Amino acid sequence: MIPFQPTFTNSQNVKTPYSEYLCVFGRRVHLRRWGRASAMPLFLLHGWMDVSASFQFIVDHLSGDWNVIALDWPGFGLSDWLNRTYYFADYLAVLDAVLDRYSPSRGGRLVGHSMGGNIACLYAGIRPHRVEAIMSLEGFGIAPTSPAMAGERFVKWLDQLKDVRHPKRYPNRQGVVTRLLGRDPYLTKDKAEFLATHLTCGADGDWAWAADPFHRVANPVLYRLDESLAIWRSITCPVIWVVGRESAIHEEFAARPGDWDMRKSCFSTFKEIWVDDATHMLHHDRPDVIARLIDHELNAASPP
């Protein structure tokens, strides 16, 4: 166990995490942990191009007695890189191993943001007995595809493999802070500085995102919406979708009439909650609200 010293110092109640590693298929997966190990396990799953430290703001606002486990997905943060194309099946296998390690005798309560929410919902339909409740923060499935798109996707994947591009470089961390602030009107400077510390790696004059460049390579396997819907229908636990009022995600669904309601109908126990003054990154914008929802909604959820 390696203790962390959080650099987010503008809070009166910063909770210090410690670091652990779990070996999955010969690769190290990094996890941050907060709270009592004997308390109810709460798993936090970050989104694409994000890291586990991104949940620090939520954890600082939690009032419940939780054993919080947040992982860096492979190829992000402090987890090992795969140095090849990433598939959704990889994430499901990692989550399966994490739940087996940290909650072997009961189902987990999962909170996932964006990609992490999609992973949580798929996993809960594949292994219903291993999940007691889900809160998906802006993770509502991906846009539908058609078989006609398969050939073009394979071409794109093969072409990108020949020239795997590294993320944009920054001369210093302040450049990352400026980028984060420019993308989110609700993000404060102190939070942006904290995030920049954990989202990047490098040295003076050459800072880059702490992510495997292969995450930017097109996935040759198309997202098959009908398969995801079939899996969602097998979920037996409560599912909560949390939507940022100013997120562009819902606007995308609105452009496909009936899509949003059709997806919601897959879940037998479902609740939809909207958060004001929040974008897609609502866990950064309103961590106080998300923490209250976790304490109230997930703590009260009954195992299926």
Residue with tokens 């339909």: 125
- Judge if pTM exceeds 0.85: yes
In the chain, the amino acid numbered 265 is S
| Cα 105 → chain centroid | 24
- 67 and 37 Cβ atoms separated by less than 8 Å: yes
Spatial distance between the Cα atoms of 114 and 283, rounded to a whole number of angstroms: 10
Q: Which tokens go with 214?
A: 């292969």
| Cα 284 → chain centroid | 12
Domain 2-141+215-300, second-level architecture: 3-Layer(aba) Sandwich (3.40)
- 138 and 242 Cβ atoms separated by less than 8 Å: yes
DSSP string, 277-301: S--TTHHHH-HHHHHHHIIIIIHHP
Amino acid 29: pLDDT? 98
Q: Which tokens go with 209?
A: 């995102």
Q: How many residues does the chain have?
A: 304
Amino acid 201: pLDDT? 83
According to DSSP, the residues that pair with 243 across neighbouring strands are 274
Helix, strand or coil, per DSSP, at residue 83: coil
Q: What is the mean pLDDT of each run of 10 residues along the chain (304 residues)?
A: 42 80 95 94 97 97 96 97 94 97 94 98 97 97 93 96 85 89 94 93 78 94 94 97 93 89 95 96 97 91 62
